[in-house]
Structure 1
Amino acid sequence: MFKKIVYLITLCSAYSLCGVAQRGEEDYKLKAAFIYNFTKYIDWGNANSGAFSIGVIGNSPVYNSLQEIAKTKTVNNKRIVVFHFDDPDDIIPCHILFISANNSFSLSSVLARVSKGTLTISEEPGFADFGTAFNFFVDNHKLKFEANINTLNEEGMKASSQLLKLATIVK
Structure 2
Amino acid sequence: MSNQKTGLLHHIIWFETKIFNPIIKKILTSKLHWPLSKKFMLITYKGHKTGEKYTTPLYYREKTNTLFVLTMKDGVKWWRNFKKQHPVTIQYKGKKIKTTAKAEKNPETIEKYLKEMITQSNTWKIFLKLYGIPINPNKKQLKQASKKTILVKFKKHQKQTKKLRKQN
TM-score between the two structures when normalised by the length of structure 1: 0.28
Where is the strand percentage greater, Structure 1 or Structure 2?
2
